Structure 1
Amino acid sequence: MSSSSLFKLGFLALLLETQVAVTVAAVLAAPSITLDSGTFVGTAGTNTQSFLGIPFAQPPVGDLRFRLPVANAAYTGTHNATAMGPACPQQAIKLPILTGLPQEVVDDVVNSIFGTVFPASEDCLTINVIKPTSATSTSKLPVVAWIFGGGFELGSTQMYDGTTIVQRSIAMGEPVIYVSMNYRVAAFGFLASKEVRAAGVGNLGLQDQRQALRWIQKYIGNFGGDPSKVTIWGESAGAISVSLQMLANGGNTEGLFRGAFMESGSPIPVGAIENGQKYYDQIVSQTGCSSASDTLACLRTVPFDKLKAAQDATPGIFSYQSLVLAWLPRADGTFLSDNPQRLVQQGKVANVPFVTGDCDDEGTLFSLSTLNITTDDQFLTWIKTFWVPQGSTAQGVALNTLYPSDQVDGSPFDTGLLNSVTPQFKRIAAFQGDAVFQAPRRFFQQTLSGKQKQWAFLSKREKAVPVLGSFHATDILNVYFDGELTDYLINFANNLDPNGKTVPSWPGYTTATPNMMTFLDGLIPTSITQDTYRAAGMQFLTNLTLQFPV
């Protein structure tokens, strides 16, 4: 069986596991929890209890569409908490049209991740809690708060079942409580324009996450959790969200979390919220709001289907511009007072311990939409068009040198001439992976070196997957299927240190000794390596994106 098929099976098993857990739990005695004057009836597993789909804010519908999340009134009555709530409205995924091996990979891997459709609704701000059965209101257990990924365009808590993590924590004698939250995505969560800035409603998806964290502070003690021991944790857009929660409000955590765990995501090189103006204007035009005196107020009255169609007409994560996303967090002057990387430079970062890392081939998955780029000139034109329109000729020459078209240098890295589906594919994949993931992580870690405890990792597993290699999201299997990252996460949530007796020693990260826990295929599954690869290229990209944020 191919490595890609194994990955697909693993991901599908994760989705199936969610359904099986719910089915098994249904035959056991239903547990209940009291919040305010309300009773929430959940489900019981073998040694866990789940309380799912609990609203943590008022539904963002009607006049609350495109507004900051509003806290619920006190709970009353009896509520069914046996199923996760619907996803927030998703942006439609349009996969690139491919042939040959790339198409086989898309069919085998990508569709298994992005092709799953989950029920969605504007009324989507719900939270899930999975706890050890033995936990009581006096247990004071650490909490891991999961923020899902999906390019800020899609995603749902329904994709992930944290039961295995709680069960593993029980087996380790370090029990934790697992929490996951929905948040608004795409245009519904990251509308960006001068109008949005003026109204103070930027980065609504991040604001939803913040509201969920406030809910945890208020209610997690009822489930046996300790509100002073919350670790925020995410992957991809979820990891970027974690890093931006560290930067929000000038680095003020509001006491909402004490540690951060990031998989494939760091403070990204984005600029002012007005950088999204063209997408805002496009939606305003397509919904018939152009003539309104208050276009934002008009958008609140647009029928859902019409607004969703206008959103879906904007570029998506697999469009030609790829990771130059239409919908993503931007500096709004309030929640994010400046460009994220500038905030890092200014030291406006929550002073909490953190773990962060990437997969080796972050860019391959997002470079399948650019296979028609086959020459150096076309590559530089694409960069100039979408990434740095203001860039100089000299910068283009430097990029051409640091990220050459030589297949041996490209991503999937360390695969020689293999995976060269076009003359430029491996080069574009190397550029995108470094520009959006690797270089921002290194910049984040090096800037904070010596200021707070931190650990780094690099996942080189699944390297044999054709075309994609150790592609974005492969590390999820290492944490949701009792891999080493599961134990490291549980240790970190308990002790603010990933090290423990069940896993290899993981030394901390500093600029002087940039240690990386590296996960490998084969008989030796881990190794400590140094964060020194592609130094000149990443430094160039960091300087370039600081000058020209997206």
Structure 2
Amino acid sequence: MLHVLAFLPVAFALVRATPPTVLLDKALVVGTTNDSVTSFFGIPYAEPPVNDLRLRLPKPIAAYQGTINATVPATQCIQLVPPLRSDLPLEILEDLIAYITEIPATTATAQSEDCLSISVQVPAGTKPGANLPILAYIYGGGFTTGSTAANPGDVLIRRSIELGKPIIFVNMNYRLGPFAFLGGKEIKEAGVGNLGLHDQRLALKWIQQHISAFGGDPKKVTINGLSAGAISVGLQMVTNDGNTEGLFRGGIMHAGSPLPTGDIEALQPAYDIVVEQAGCAAAADTLECLRQVPAATLLNAAAALPNLFDLPGLAEVWAPRADGVFLQAPPQHLVLAGSVANIPFITGDALDEGTIFATGSFNVTTEAEFRDFVQQEFFPDAPADVLAPIFDLYPNVPAEGSPFETGDANELAPEFKRSAAFQGDVVFQAPRRFFLDQRSLKQPTWTYTSKRGAVKGLGCPHGSDATPVLTQGNDLADYVIQFVTTLDPNGASNRTIPWPRYDPLERSMLTLLPGDTPLEIVPDTARLEAMAGLTGLSIAFPL
């Protein structure tokens, strides 16, 4: 008997050391457990988009066989990392470096074209049949960077367990930059625009097919994202005439809505530059040539185009546009036409969405230069007399600019705060309010603004609202978890307050504050006339 007892500690240790597994078709997926979270990283959901599958719609995995090692962070899709401008003034450079340190967009994880994978994280011990709700996360990064490896859900899952409302966190890799978001007539005619959005859609279909094996309920999926991920959530809501195909039942957008962009053919000059830089200009079929060049050649060719920190921020060459397939019309036109999923959603922004993008236009320093900048980079087709009122609505008065609520401080360059206010509103704040105005009387909606996470010179910048949801599991995380569980953010915890639904009259908005009183409800009325002017312009003359 004593001889048997002597082996029991070893036997228990072996049991504890047995890795978690899930059966997918005929494949055994091997994961890893860290305290209260079990993770399965990098499960392929599509065939590798390489060789002849490059610059084509994603092809689903037919069936799984063998053993899938899902114990290490997934390979990232190839990143087109925007370099900081070499001519930045020292003060702006220091501020941007501080920002990037707080809100990193990428990691040192390996990169490859073969990257279309999905990662599933669950509370440890979750079994099939648990029917837990799912947060399907779409990462941000300007459609040029980002990955599942850079956005783990461990903290959020642990907080959901603490609240007694356990959720499953699913994170998908999708193609980026020149491998997914090229534009031009060749791309449109081939039906291969916005490939990253197609990747996301296929990943959502994978969730429907396979999440039950991990203990998830495929009928309880909420899509959530930051920045480009939030924009993606909005675009997943407006594609397919608003038909979700049962893929998701709610949406959460942190700093992003259906964009005020136009047709993908407007990107023809960018396509031509990439073709030239890749050595494909003489090819009879330039798109086929781009499929055949080395991945590094295509990446380097794309690097010749303006990047996120150049002019003019997210109104740049990698933003999704109407392609005739995924987006049948400009996104805001689809919203006006009612092509919107009839689901509850949350959408919010940080106070100073435009500051990091305005650093790229620091050398726009006069009234004439600012007017030229806005016309050339945002509204090149708008007649001068139609555009003129915008310059009165966004005057060069530092106290009215962004960072907001800072008086004359933080004017990092002449016209900087004016440019930051304009850019933040045209790409983020005005589209958010437009989306709410169009939909809040038709479906449950909530909105917020964040006045936390200030960075020197940049105020409360883009991304500062949502990053703590994943890294800290803060009070906004409680609202997110509650929404994923019940489709209503209210009743989350004793860290939250009642959050009224939005409507175009009361415009109730949750405000995230620093200090001892972290939450309050205020009306969403900042710059009403100015944003209405921007919305009218962007609908008539999409970016």
Under a length normalisation based on structure 2, what TM-score does the superposition of the two structures give? Answer: 0.94
Q: How far 1:116 moved relative to its partner?
A: 4.7
Match of residue 50 from structure 1: 39
Contact 1:477 1:483 in 2 (8 A): no
Match of residue 92 from structure 1: 81
1:364 aligns with 2:375: no
Map 1:503-542; keep pairs closer than 5 Å.
503-542=496-535
Amino acid at match of 2:541: F
1:378 aligns with 2:369: yes
Contact 2:490 2:499 in 1 (8 A): yes
Distance 1:122 1:177, change over 3 A: same
1:63 maps to which of 52, 57, 71: 52
Q: How far 1:393 moved relative to its partner?
A: 2.5
Q: 1:508, 1:306 → 2: CA distance?
A: 49
Local SS of the residue matching 1:159: coil
Q: 1:400, 1:133 → 2: CA distance?
A: 55
In structure 1, stretches of 5+ residues that fail to align are: 1-26
Map 1:276-425; keep pairs closer than 5 Å.
276-425=267-416
Q: How far 1:484 moved relative to its partner?
A: 1.0
1:126 aligns with 2:111: no
- After superposition, the C-alpha distances for 1:175-221 in whole angstroms (9 at most, x for unaligned) are 11000010001111111111111111111000000010011000000
Contact 2:312 2:357 in 1 (8 A): no
Q: How far 1:118 moved relative to its partner?
A: 3.9
Contact 2:311 2:377 in 1 (8 A): no
1:40 aligns with 2:33: no
Match of residue 256 from structure 1: 247
Match of residue 61 from structure 2: 72
1:226 aligns with 2:217: yes
1:271 maps to which of 242, 262, 265: 262
- After superposition, the C-alpha distances for 1:48-93 in whole angstroms (9 at most, x for unaligned) are 2100011110000000000000011211111210112221111131
Amino acid at match of 1:98: L
Query: Which ranges of 4 or more aligned residues in structure 1 deviate by more than 3 Å?
Result: 114-118
Match of residue 483 from structure 2: 492
Local SS of the residue matching 2:84: coil
Under a length normalisation based on structure 1, what TM-score does the superposition of the two structures give? Answer: 0.93
Q: 2:184, 2:521 → 1: CA distance?
A: 44
Local SS of the residue matching 1:350: coil
Q: 1:411, 1:375 → 2: CA distance?
A: 17
Contact 2:78 2:175 in 1 (8 A): yes
Match of residue 3 from structure 1: none
Q: 2:492, 2:136 → 1: CA distance?
A: 24
1:435 maps to which of 426, 432, 452: 426
Local SS of the residue matching 2:180: helix
Match of residue 460 from structure 2: 470
Q: How far 1:111 moved relative to its partner?
A: 5.0
Match of residue 548 from structure 1: 541
Local SS of the residue matching 1:158: coil
Contact 2:119 2:170 in 1 (8 A): yes
Q: How far 1:114 moved relative to its partner?
A: 4.6
Q: 1:285, 1:335 → 2: CA distance?
A: 27
1:168 aligns with 2:185: no
Map 1:148-159; keep pairs closer than 5 Å.
148-159=139-150
Q: 1:29, 1:161 → 2: CA distance?
A: 23
Q: 2:191, 2:219 → 1: CA distance?
A: 29
Local SS of the residue matching 1:356: strand
Match of residue 449 from structure 1: 440
Amino acid at match of 1:289: C
Amino acid at match of 2:451: K
Q: Specify the structure having the higher radius of gyration (Cα).
A: 2
Amino acid at match of 1:67: R
Q: How far 1:305 moved relative to its partner?
A: 1.4
Q: How far 1:388 moved relative to its partner?
A: 1.1
Local SS of the residue matching 2:238: helix
In structure 2, stretches of 5+ residues that fail to align are: 1-15
Contact 2:453 2:465 in 1 (8 A): no
Local SS of the residue matching 2:292: coil
Contact 2:79 2:146 in 1 (8 A): yes
Q: 2:489, 2:352 → 1: CA distance?
A: 24
Q: How far 1:28 moved relative to its partner?
A: 4.8
Q: How far 1:356 moved relative to its partner?
A: 0.5
Contact 1:118 1:156 in 2 (8 A): no
Q: How far 1:115 moved relative to its partner?
A: 7.2
Amino acid at match of 1:56: Y
Amino acid at match of 1:243: G
Amino acid at match of 2:497: P
Q: How far 1:478 moved relative to its partner?
A: 3.2
